[in-house]
Structure 1
Amino acid sequence: MEARARVLAAADGRARVRVIDREEGCGRCDEPGGCRSVKLAYAIRPARSEFDVPDEIGVAAGDEVVLRMADGSALRGALAGYGLGAVLMLAGAMAGLAIGGGDGAAVVGAVAGLALAFVLNRVLHRSRRWRGRLHVEMLPAGTLRVHDLPESR
């Protein structure tokens, strides 16, 4: 996944960047059959456009760069952030029901599962190994982007 960005500030090996081109789904939001999912998601919470990233190339404010994240990184992050919570909430609810406490025990189990997911996500967030797998690479703006390559025939 790649996006163009402009450097807002750079210091101490970090850069604050603002994404200047954002792909927004398939582009069929207002066409017949379009799902409008991107518009719905942004109505709930606007997409972030400013990020702090490691400055490994020596940029200055005003420079244009390309931000690149390895394929699958966003999915791994989303699964950890949302999937883990959903799975542990359901597992907790099922454990509460298995104990035989009825609906009240299922609710307590679901809350316990969510609390465990919260703790596990905090541990993952602090893990250098995990964060390294979600690394965002910053490249000079003239870097050839993967989707700019001509199709092979």
Structure 2
Amino acid sequence: MIFSEAQVERCEGEFAWVKIRPHSPCGNCDPKTGCKSVAITRLFGHAQQSYQVKNPLHAKPNDYVKVAVNDGDLLGTAVWAYGFPLLLLILGAVLGSALAPVALDELYSLLGAVIGFLLSFIVLRMRNEKAKQTQPSIVEILPNAIKLKNCSSH
């Protein structure tokens, strides 16, 4: 299991929206520039700041919680999100090239790659319902008296 500390922003039925908190020091802290891990995440991360998780413990807004996700679920999601589109792109290009007349094989290869890539998005959209079953979940409500550590507290 992979764990992360978070704060509940809002609740919607059996789900909660949490904001992941910077974790305790990991060795990448620099007294002058702060947490390198957080800086790298901000550089490459997207704008989404809060995430929907299952809330079986009925945490309330402003509660500090521990969120968990299975290692296998994380790896499987990464393979599907990155590997599957790449595989269909390559297969589409190869198939397009194989079916093309000799003079147009580059065009057919490009067209096959685009069709394969678009097909992967359709499959991933349909698979999205299954992915919701492996959604991260709140596994512990932390006492509000515990301050979640971050690199700026040093």
Establish whether TM, by shorter chain, passes 0.5: yes
Q: Which residue of 2 aligns with 1:2?
A: 3
Kindly indicate whether residue 19 of structure 2 is the aligned counterpart of residue 18 of structure 1: yes
Give 1:93 deviation, angstroms: 0.3
CA distance in structure 1 between the partners assigned to 2:132 and 2:125 by the alignment: 12
Deviations 1:111-149 (A, max 9, x none): 11011101110110023xx432x2212022459xxxxxx
Number of positions where the alignment pairs a residue of Structure 1 with one of Structure 2: 134
Q: Which amino acid aligns with 1:83?
A: G
Q: Which residue of 1 aligns with 2:87?
A: 87
Give 1:46 deviation, angstroms: 3.6
Select the structure with the greater relative contact order (CA < 8 A; seq sep ≥ 6).
Answer: 2
Report the secondary structure of 2:71's partner residue. coil
Alignment identity in percent?
21
Using a 3 Å threshold, how does the CA distance of structure 1 residues 41 and 12 change in structure 2: closer, same or farther? closer
Q: Which amino acid aligns with 1:66?
A: K
RMSD: 3.0
Structure 1: 5+ residue runs without aligned partners? 29-35, 144-153
Alpha carbons 1:8, 1:18 under 8 Å: kept: yes
Kindly indicate whether residue 125 of structure 2 is the aligned counterpart of residue 122 of structure 1: yes
Deviations 1:35-76 (A, max 9, x none): x99866643444643111121111111111000000121221
Deviations 1:7-49 (A, max 9, x none): 1122422211111125899839xxxxxxx99866643444643
CA distance in structure 2 between the partners assigned to 1:24 and 1:78 by the alignment: 26
Deviations 1:90-111 (A, max 9, x none): 0000111111331100000001
Q: Which amino acid aligns with 1:98?
A: A
Q: How does 1:130-145 map to 2 (within 5 A)?
A: 130-132=131-133, 134-142=134-142
CA distance in structure 2 between the partners assigned to 1:47 and 1:22 by the alignment: 19
